Amino acid sequence: MNTREAKEILQLYRRPVDDADPQFREALTHAQRDPELAEWLQEQTRCYDAIRAKLREVEPPIDLPQKIIRTRPIPFARKWNEILKLAAAIFLSASITAIGFKLSEHKRRSIPQGQEITVKGEVLDMTCYIAYNLSGPEHASCARDCIRSGLPVGIKTENGKVYLLTGNAGKPVNTELADYAAKVVIIKGKKSIRDGFAQLQVEEIRKF
Protein backbone atom coordinates (compact mmCIF):
# COMPACT_ATOMS: atom_id res chain seq x y z
CA MET A 1 0.00 0.00 0.00
CA ASN A 2 1.36 3.42 -0.96
CA THR A 3 0.54 6.82 0.52
CA ARG A 4 -2.04 7.68 -2.13
CA GLU A 5 -3.93 4.43 -1.57
CA ALA A 6 -3.77 4.81 2.21
CA LYS A 7 -5.08 8.36 2.02
CA GLU A 8 -7.99 7.34 -0.21
CA ILE A 9 -8.98 4.67 2.31
CA LEU A 10 -8.55 6.96 5.31
CA GLN A 11 -10.86 9.57 3.79
CA LEU A 12 -13.63 7.16 4.84
CA TYR A 13 -12.18 6.39 8.28
CA ARG A 14 -14.55 6.80 11.23
CA ARG A 15 -13.07 6.08 14.61
CA PRO A 16 -13.75 3.94 16.57
CA VAL A 17 -16.25 2.28 14.20
CA ASP A 18 -13.62 1.29 11.62
CA ASP A 19 -10.73 0.43 13.95
CA ALA A 20 -11.28 -3.32 13.63
CA ASP A 21 -11.43 -3.29 9.83
CA PRO A 22 -8.24 -4.87 8.36
CA GLN A 23 -8.19 -2.44 5.44
CA PHE A 24 -8.28 0.57 7.73
CA ARG A 25 -5.72 -0.99 10.09
CA GLU A 26 -3.28 -1.35 7.21
CA ALA A 27 -3.83 2.25 6.15
CA LEU A 28 -3.43 3.47 9.75
CA THR A 29 -0.17 1.54 10.07
CA HIS A 30 1.06 3.22 6.89
CA ALA A 31 0.12 6.62 8.32
CA GLN A 32 2.25 5.93 11.39
CA ARG A 33 5.26 5.62 9.08
CA ASP A 34 4.44 8.72 7.03
CA PRO A 35 4.57 12.00 9.02
CA GLU A 36 2.81 14.04 6.31
CA LEU A 37 0.00 11.50 6.01
CA ALA A 38 -0.26 11.31 9.81
CA GLU A 39 -0.67 15.09 9.99
CA TRP A 40 -3.36 14.99 7.29
CA LEU A 41 -5.17 12.16 9.10
CA GLN A 42 -5.17 14.16 12.32
CA GLU A 43 -6.88 17.06 10.55
CA GLN A 44 -9.28 14.72 8.74
CA THR A 45 -10.25 13.00 11.99
CA ARG A 46 -10.64 16.32 13.77
CA CYS A 47 -12.96 17.52 11.02
CA TYR A 48 -15.06 14.34 11.11
CA ASP A 49 -15.27 14.39 14.91
CA ALA A 50 -16.43 18.01 14.83
CA ILE A 51 -19.24 17.20 12.40
CA ARG A 52 -20.26 14.10 14.32
CA ALA A 53 -20.26 15.97 17.63
CA LYS A 54 -22.51 18.68 16.23
CA LEU A 55 -24.94 16.15 14.79
CA ARG A 56 -25.04 14.26 18.09
CA GLU A 57 -26.32 17.42 19.74
CA VAL A 58 -29.57 17.01 17.80
CA GLU A 59 -32.09 15.25 20.04
CA PRO A 60 -34.30 12.72 18.19
CA PRO A 61 -37.79 11.85 19.46
CA ILE A 62 -37.72 9.58 22.52
CA ASP A 63 -39.63 6.80 20.74
CA LEU A 64 -37.53 6.88 17.55
CA PRO A 65 -35.64 3.59 18.23
CA GLN A 66 -38.89 1.66 18.71
CA LYS A 67 -40.32 3.08 15.50
CA ILE A 68 -37.20 2.18 13.56
CA ILE A 69 -37.26 -1.37 14.91
CA ARG A 70 -40.90 -1.79 13.94
CA THR A 71 -40.07 -0.33 10.49
CA ARG A 72 -43.15 1.84 10.67
CA PRO A 73 -43.35 5.24 9.00
CA ILE A 74 -42.15 7.91 11.39
CA PRO A 75 -44.53 10.88 11.85
CA PHE A 76 -42.67 14.17 11.69
CA ALA A 77 -44.37 16.70 13.92
CA ARG A 78 -43.55 20.38 13.73
CA LYS A 79 -40.81 20.16 16.36
CA TRP A 80 -39.14 17.24 14.58
CA ASN A 81 -39.21 19.15 11.30
CA GLU A 82 -37.47 22.00 13.06
CA ILE A 83 -34.88 19.56 14.38
CA LEU A 84 -34.26 18.26 10.86
CA LYS A 85 -33.73 21.78 9.58
CA LEU A 86 -31.36 22.42 12.45
CA ALA A 87 -29.45 19.23 11.66
CA ALA A 88 -29.04 20.32 8.06
CA ALA A 89 -27.84 23.75 9.15
CA ILE A 90 -25.36 22.22 11.59
CA PHE A 91 -24.09 19.85 8.92
CA LEU A 92 -23.51 22.69 6.47
CA SER A 93 -21.97 24.89 9.13
CA ALA A 94 -19.58 22.16 10.20
CA SER A 95 -18.68 21.50 6.58
CA ILE A 96 -17.83 25.16 6.08
CA THR A 97 -15.73 25.10 9.24
CA ALA A 98 -13.89 22.11 7.83
CA ILE A 99 -12.60 24.28 5.00
CA GLY A 100 -10.22 25.88 7.45
CA PHE A 101 -8.78 22.49 8.32
CA LYS A 102 -8.13 21.74 4.66
CA LEU A 103 -6.59 24.96 3.37
CA SER A 104 -3.02 23.79 3.79
CA GLU A 105 -3.85 20.52 2.05
CA HIS A 106 -5.31 22.35 -0.95
CA LYS A 107 -2.20 24.49 -1.22
CA ARG A 108 0.08 21.45 -1.25
CA ARG A 109 -1.80 19.28 -3.68
CA SER A 110 -4.50 19.75 -6.33
CA ILE A 111 -7.10 17.03 -6.77
CA PRO A 112 -8.42 15.89 -10.16
CA GLN A 113 -12.09 16.80 -10.51
CA GLY A 114 -14.93 15.61 -12.70
CA GLN A 115 -13.91 12.00 -13.38
CA GLU A 116 -16.96 10.12 -14.65
CA ILE A 117 -17.64 6.87 -12.80
CA THR A 118 -20.45 4.36 -12.27
CA VAL A 119 -21.02 2.95 -8.79
CA LYS A 120 -23.40 0.50 -7.17
CA GLY A 121 -24.41 0.79 -3.55
CA GLU A 122 -26.92 1.64 -0.83
CA VAL A 123 -28.58 5.05 -0.78
CA LEU A 124 -27.85 6.69 2.58
CA ASP A 125 -29.37 9.34 4.77
CA MET A 126 -26.02 10.99 5.50
CA THR A 127 -27.11 12.71 8.71
CA CYS A 128 -28.09 9.51 10.53
CA TYR A 129 -25.23 7.58 8.95
CA ILE A 130 -22.55 10.00 10.14
CA ALA A 131 -24.07 10.81 13.52
CA TYR A 132 -25.42 7.38 14.52
CA ASN A 133 -23.99 4.90 11.98
CA LEU A 134 -27.54 4.00 10.87
CA SER A 135 -28.16 2.34 7.51
CA GLY A 136 -29.76 -0.77 6.03
CA PRO A 137 -33.37 -1.90 5.53
CA GLU A 138 -34.31 -1.39 9.20
CA HIS A 139 -33.52 2.31 8.78
CA ALA A 140 -35.31 2.71 5.43
CA SER A 141 -38.37 4.58 6.67
CA CYS A 142 -36.40 7.13 8.67
CA ALA A 143 -33.86 7.54 5.86
CA ARG A 144 -36.62 8.13 3.32
CA ASP A 145 -38.21 10.86 5.44
CA CYS A 146 -34.86 12.52 6.16
CA ILE A 147 -33.89 12.55 2.48
CA ARG A 148 -37.29 13.92 1.46
CA SER A 149 -36.95 16.69 4.04
CA GLY A 150 -33.80 17.90 2.29
CA LEU A 151 -31.05 16.43 4.46
CA PRO A 152 -27.86 15.29 2.69
CA VAL A 153 -28.09 12.06 0.71
CA GLY A 154 -25.24 9.74 -0.19
CA ILE A 155 -24.33 6.31 -1.46
CA LYS A 156 -22.17 3.62 0.14
CA THR A 157 -20.55 1.51 -2.54
CA GLU A 158 -19.78 -2.19 -2.42
CA ASN A 159 -16.18 -1.50 -1.37
CA GLY A 160 -17.29 0.74 1.50
CA LYS A 161 -16.56 4.10 -0.12
CA VAL A 162 -19.16 6.77 0.62
CA TYR A 163 -20.07 9.63 -1.72
CA LEU A 164 -22.22 12.68 -1.04
CA LEU A 165 -24.70 12.84 -3.93
CA THR A 166 -25.50 16.13 -5.66
CA GLY A 167 -27.26 17.20 -8.82
CA ASN A 168 -26.13 19.46 -11.62
CA ALA A 169 -24.47 22.65 -10.40
CA GLY A 170 -24.69 21.36 -6.82
CA LYS A 171 -28.48 21.10 -6.85
CA PRO A 172 -29.95 18.45 -4.52
CA VAL A 173 -31.25 15.16 -5.89
CA ASN A 174 -33.33 14.31 -2.84
CA THR A 175 -36.64 14.04 -4.68
CA GLU A 176 -35.25 11.51 -7.15
CA LEU A 177 -33.49 9.44 -4.48
CA ALA A 178 -35.90 9.47 -1.52
CA ASP A 179 -37.80 6.36 -2.66
CA TYR A 180 -34.49 4.51 -3.03
CA ALA A 181 -33.52 5.07 0.62
CA ALA A 182 -31.67 2.02 2.01
CA LYS A 183 -31.97 0.30 -1.39
CA VAL A 184 -29.18 -0.66 -3.77
CA VAL A 185 -28.98 1.42 -6.94
CA ILE A 186 -26.52 2.06 -9.75
CA ILE A 187 -25.50 5.68 -10.19
CA LYS A 188 -23.47 7.24 -12.96
CA GLY A 189 -21.93 10.63 -12.34
CA LYS A 190 -18.88 12.83 -12.01
CA LYS A 191 -16.63 12.20 -9.04
CA SER A 192 -14.94 15.04 -7.18
CA ILE A 193 -13.51 15.85 -3.76
CA ARG A 194 -14.30 19.10 -2.01
CA ASP A 195 -12.89 20.01 1.40
CA GLY A 196 -12.22 16.36 2.13
CA PHE A 197 -15.69 15.12 1.14
CA ALA A 198 -16.02 12.70 -1.79
CA GLN A 199 -18.90 13.83 -4.00
CA LEU A 200 -20.70 12.38 -6.97
CA GLN A 201 -22.66 14.67 -9.27
CA VAL A 202 -25.52 12.42 -10.35
CA GLU A 203 -26.17 12.03 -14.07
CA GLU A 204 -28.14 8.78 -14.12
CA ILE A 205 -29.91 6.61 -11.53
CA ARG A 206 -30.74 2.97 -12.24
CA LYS A 207 -32.57 0.59 -9.94
CA PHE A 208 -30.54 -2.54 -9.23
Band the pLDDT of 163: cuts 50, 70, 90: very high
Give the Cα separation of 123 and 155 in Å (integer).
Answer: 4
The residue ranking higher by pLDDT, 23 or 34, is: 34
Closest CA to 116 of 9, 200, 197, 198: 200
| pLDDT of 108 | 46
Domain count, the chain: 1
| Kind and range of the H or E run holding 117 | strand 115-125
Tell whether the model's pLDDT for residue 81 goes beyond 70.
no
Whether residue 94 has pLDDT greater than 90: no
pLDDT of 40 > 50? The answer is yes
- Regarding beta strands 162-166 and 184-194, do their DSSP bridges make them parallel or antiparallel, or are they unpaired? unpaired
Using the predicted structure, report yes or no on whether residue 9 has a pLDDT greater than 90. no
pLDDT at 66: 65
Compare 36 and 13 and report the one with higher pLDDT: 36
**Confidence at residue 101, expressed as pLDDT on a 0 to 100 scale:** 46
pLDDT at 7: 81
The predicted pLDDT at position 120 comes to 95
Could you list the residue range(s) of the whole structural domain that residue 22 is in? 3-207
Amino acid at 116: E
In DSSP notation, 78-90 reads HHHHHHHHHHHHH
Mean pLDDT calculated for residue range 128-141: 89
Lowest mean pLDDT among 103-107, 145-149, 160-164: 103-107
Length of the chain: 208
Query: Could you tell me where the DSSP H helices lie in 22-152?
Result: 22-33, 35-56, 64-69, 78-108, 126-132, 140-148
In this prediction, residue 49 has a pLDDT band, given cuts at 50, 70 and 90, of confident
- Looking at the predicted structure, is the pLDDT value of residue 157 above 90? yes
Over 60: is that where the pLDDT of 119 sits? yes
Of 83-87, 104-108, 157-161, which gets the smallest average pLDDT?
Answer: 104-108
How far is the CA of 26 from the CAs of 23, 29, 64, 204, in angstroms?
A: 5, 5, 37, 34
